[in-house]
Chains A and B, each alone.
Chain A
Amino acid sequence: QQPVQSPQAVILREGEDAVINCSSSKALYSVHWYRQKHGEAPVFLMILLKGGEQKGHDKISASFNEKKQQSSLYLTASQLSYSGTYFCGTYMNTGNQFYFGTGTSLTVIP
Chain B
Amino acid sequence: DTGVSQNPRHKITKRGQNVTFRCDPISEHNRLYWYRQTLGQGPEFLTYFQNEAQLEKSRLLSDRFSAERPKGSFSTLEIQRTEQGDSAMYLCASSLNRVLQETQYFGPGTRLLVL
Contact = CB atoms under 8 A, between A and B. Distances in A.
A41 B41 CA distance: 13
Contacts of A64: none
Contact of A97 (B42, B58, B101): B58
Contacts of B42: 85, 87, 100-103
B25 interface: no
Interface of A: 29-30, 32, 40-44, 47, 49, 85, 87, 91, 94-103
Contact of A30 (B48, B56, B101): B101
Contact of B104 (A29, A44, A94, A96): A44
16 contacts: A30-B100, A30-B101, A41-B91, A41-B106, A43-B106, A44-B104, A47-B103, A87-B42, A91-B100, A91-B102, A96-B48, A96-B55, A96-B56, A97-B58, A98-B104, A100-B42
Nearest to B109: A41
Contacts of A98: 33, 45, 48, 104
Contacts, number: 49
Contacts of B58: 97
Q: Taking chain A's interface residues, is the majority helix, strand, or loop, or is none over half, making it mixed?
A: loop
Contacts of B101: 30, 47, 49
A100 B45 CA distance: 8
Nearest to B58: A97
Interface of B: 33, 41-45, 48, 55-56, 58, 91, 99-109
Nearest to A97: B45
Contacts of A49: 100-101
B83 to A, nearest CB: 23
Given A47-B101, A97-B56, A42 B106 contact: yes
A29 B42 CA distance: 20
Nearest to A87: B42
A103 B106 contact: no
A91 B41 CA distance: 18
Contact of A95 (B33, B99, B105): B99
